[in-house]
Amino acid sequence: MSTEQTTLAGGFSYTLTRTLQAPAVKVWRAWTTPEQYAQWAYAAVGSVEMDVRPGGAWKATMVTPDGGQFPLTGSYLEVVENRLLVVGMDVPGRPAPAAMTMELDEQDGHHTRIELRQTCDTAEERDMAEQGSTMLLDSLGVFLTDGASG
């Protein structure tokens, strides 16, 4: 795993990369199928809805480690099946969605390099988003390795 943080004129960014033990199509399905996403992404069962196409909407209710729940909504800004997903997340009080980019690069049919990138307005927002994304990647790796994603 590698992590990179940068501060740009337009905000505070992070990039996380991992190599997952699964082909890109399997990683893509885990990220874009509501039933699979709910199993590894800390979402409340039955709360995930996804219309995975440019301009399509998504929503999920996330569950925190202490049992708290908070709803998230957004849209898909860019979709290239098995390769690229740019997810817009609605942020109260912010005119434009916060975008997170997920890129997949299949290595050998059995491994996929995943890269998550996001730019935030403040260092604190970046650090919180990076922590959440790290938790997601950790959980995704376990989900794919356990074979739960069939």
Provide CB contacts within 8 A for 78, sequence distance 6+.
54, 84, 85, 86, 101
Cα(1)–Cα(137) distance, rounded to whole angstroms? 10
pLDDT (tens digit per residue) in 95-143: 888 899 999 999 998 999 999 999 998 899 899 999 999 999 999 999 9
pLDDT at site 87:
96
pTM of this prediction? 0.88
Per-residue confidence at 9, pLDDT binned at 50, 70, 90?
Answer: low
Q: CA of 86: how far to CAs of 6, 31, 148, in Å?
A: 19, 12, 25
Per-residue confidence at 150, pLDDT binned at 50, 70, 90?
Answer: very low
Q: Which long-range contacts (CB under 8 A, 24 or more apart) does 51-58 make?
A: 51/76, 52/76, 52/79, 52/85, 53/79, 54/78, 54/79, 58/87
Q: How many CB atoms lie within 10 A of CB 87?
A: 22
pLDDT (tens digit per residue) in 44-82: 989 999 999 999 999 999 998 888 998 999 999 999 999
Torsion of CA 25, 74, 133, 82, to 10 degrees: 10
Domains and CATH numbers, the chain: 2-41+79-144 (3.30.530.20)
